[in-house]
Chain A
C-alpha cells in the first residue's frame, strides 16, 4: 500500500511536468491546428542559453530561470515566423516538416556551442527530501507541482479574463471570424507561440535544475512527452492536456514500479495506440478549451 501511495505521489510530480509541456503544445495546436515539432527543441535552446550563461558567469538560479524562459520564448517566435506564419492557410504538412528542420537546427546549434554530452546544472534545492509520514517527496517535485498549479491558474486568467485571451479564444473558434472582427490572427499566433514557449522554458528550467544536468536529449524528450500527454487528453483541450499529463505521469510511475523501467515507455505508447484505435468520446471533441 505504501508503495502504491509513494508511486502515486511520484507520478503526480512527474505528471505535473508533463502537464506543463502539454499545455504549451496545446496552446499552439489550438490556435494553429498544427503540430509544432520544434516546441521541445525551443525549450532546449532556452536551457542551453541558461547553461552557457552559468558556465560563463556563474550567475544565480533566478537569473538562469529568466534566461531559460526568455531564450525559449525567443526561439518560439523564431519558429512561428519561419515555419508557421508562411503556411497559415493550408499546407499543414509543410509547416510540420519545416518545424522538424528547425528542431535539427536548434540541436546542432546547442551541440556546437556546448559540445559535451552532459553538463552539470546548478541544483534547485540542495537539501534532502521532505518526509510525510512514511512517504517522501523531493522539494524539486513539490516546486514543479506548485508551478504547474500556478501556471494553470494564470493561464486560465489570461484566457478568460483578459482582452488578449478573448482574442486567442476567438482565433481558436474561427480564424476567419476573428479577422472580420478586427483581430489580427498573425499577431495573436505570434504571441501565443511566445507564451507557450515561455511556459516550456520554465518547465525546462525546473526539469534540468531538478535533475542537475542538461543533455541534448531534452528537446526530443520534451516534444515526445508533451505530444503524448496532449494526445492522451484529446487534442486541443487545455483541461485535457493537464489530465493527459497527470495520467501519463501516474502511468509511468506505476508501470516502472510493477513492470520495470524497460517497459515504462512501452506501456505509455501502448496506451496511446489503444486510445487512438478505440477513440473514446473525449478524443473526438474539437473543443475550443
Chain B
C-alpha cells in the first residue's frame, strides 16, 4: 500500500534520514521503533508531505506522492496524527472535526456520530475550545480529526507520548479497533511493549537507517533489541 524507497531527508547539511526503505501492507499495522533522534518523526513528516525528501521515492497505491503538499496527500487518503497533536486550540472540538472533514464532499453526519460513539469524551466536550482539553483528550481529538478525512492509511507519531498509562491503554484499544475496521496504520512508538500487542510488522530505525525489519516473533528473538527496547523480560 505504502512503499518508501531509499528515502533521504536533510535539514540543511545534516541528513536525518540516510536512505530509508520500508513498506506498509494493506490492512496491517506496521510499527517503527527507534531511539530519540533516530529520524522517526522526520520519516513521518516526509511521508505526510511536510518535509521534502532530498532523494528517494514514496509511493501510495502505486502513485508517487513525494512531491505533493500535505493537503494533497490527505486528499489521496493518507492522514498524519502529528507528534505534538497540533489541535486547533482556539476552535471548539466540533470545529476541529469539521476542519478535519474539509476535503469531504457531501454530508458526513454519520461519521461525526461514529466518531462521537468511539470517543464519548469528545462528545461531552464538543462545544469546548480544544485548547482547554487535557493531553489525553487532545490526543483523542487529533486522532478523531484525522479520521474525519476517512484515511486509508493513518500515520501516528508516538500517540502515547507523555500520556498516563490508562490513557495509553485506551489509545491502543482504539488503534486495534481502527485496524479491525479496515484502516491500515503506520505507527511510530517508543513503547515497544504496547506496540508488540497490536503491530504485525516492525522496523527499527537508528541514526537515519533501518537496522531491523521483521515480525513480532523475530523482534522478541533479537537479543540486542530485546535488551534495548523491551528490558530484560521476554515479551
Interface string of A155-170 (1 = CB under 8 A from B): 0000000010011011
State which size class the interface on A falls in: 20 to 34
A-B contact pairs, 27 of them (CB 8 A): A163-B98, A163-B102, A166-B99, A166-B102, A169-B88, A169-B91, A170-B88, A170-B91, A172-B90, A173-B89, A176-B50, A177-B88, A179-B71, A180-B50, A180-B74, A180-B79, A180-B82, A180-B86, A180-B146, A181-B100, A181-B102, A181-B149, A182-B102, A182-B103, A183-B102, A184-B69, A288-B90
In the complex, A174 has a CB within 8 A of chain B: yes
- B88–A182 touching, CB < 8 Å: no
CB within 8 Å of B: which of A170-218? 170, 172-174, 176-186
Q: Nearest Cβ in chain A — how far from B139, in angstroms?
A: 14
In the complex, A136 has a CB within 8 A of chain B: no
Q: Nearest Cβ in chain A — how far from B152, in angstroms?
A: 14
With A180-B80, A181-B74, A181-B145 already in contact, the answer to whether A173 and B90 are too (CB < 8 A) is yes
- B99–A170 touching, CB < 8 Å: yes
Q: Nearest Cβ in chain A — how far from B175, in angstroms?
A: 19
Closest 4 CB pairs of A and B: A182-B74, A179-B70, A177-B86, A182-B103
Besides the known contacts A176-B86, A288-B90, 10 further A-B residue pairs in the complex with CB atoms under 8 A apart = A166-B91, A166-B99, A169-B91, A173-B91, A174-B88, A177-B86, A180-B86, A182-B71, A182-B74, A289-B90
CA distance A185 to B72 in the complex (A): 11
Q: Nearest Cβ in chain B — how far from A199, in angstroms?
A: 22
In the complex, A111 has a CB within 8 A of chain B: no
In the complex, B95 has a CB within 8 A of chain A: yes
Query: Total A-B pairs in contact (CB under 8 Å)?
Result: 76
In the complex, B75 has a CB within 8 A of chain A: yes
CA distance A9 to B89 in the complex (A): 39
In the complex, A105 has a CB within 8 A of chain B: no
CA distance A214 to B69 in the complex (A): 44
In the complex, B204 has a CB within 8 A of chain A: no
- A167–B88 touching, CB < 8 Å: no
CB within 8 Å of A: which of B37-71? 48-50, 69-71
CA distance A136 to B181 in the complex (A): 70
Interface string of B192-234 (1 = CB under 8 A from A): 0000000000000000000000000000000000000000000
Question: What residue of chain A has the Cβ atom nearest to residue B131's Cβ?
Answer: A173
CA distance A173 to B74 in the complex (A): 19
- A174–B71 touching, CB < 8 Å: no
Q: Which residues of B approach A to under 8 Å, CB–CB? A: 48-50, 69-72, 74-75, 79-80, 82, 86-91, 95, 98-100, 102-103, 145-146, 149
CA distance A183 to B70 in the complex (A): 9
CA distance A172 to B86 in the complex (A): 13
- B75–A182 touching, CB < 8 Å: yes
Q: Which of A166, A177, A179 contacts B69 (CB 8 A)?
A: A179
Contacts of A179 in B (CB 8 A): 49-50, 69-71
Contacts of A288 in B (CB 8 A): 90-91
CA distance A79 to B53 in the complex (A): 30
Contacts of B75 in A (CB 8 A): 182
Contacts of B71 in A (CB 8 A): 179, 181-185
CA distance A178 to B99 in the complex (A): 8
Q: Nearest Cβ in chain B — how far from A124, in angstroms?
A: 38
Q: Nearest Cβ in chain B — how far from A239, in angstroms?
A: 14
Contacts of B100 in A (CB 8 A): 181-182
- B95–A169 touching, CB < 8 Å: yes
- B99–A287 touching, CB < 8 Å: no
Contacts of A174 in B (CB 8 A): 86, 88-89
Q: Nearest Cβ in chain A — how far from B88, in angstroms?
A: 4
CA distance A288 to B79 in the complex (A): 25
Question: What residue of chain B has the Cβ atom nearest to residue A164's Cβ?
Answer: B102
- A169–B90 touching, CB < 8 Å: yes
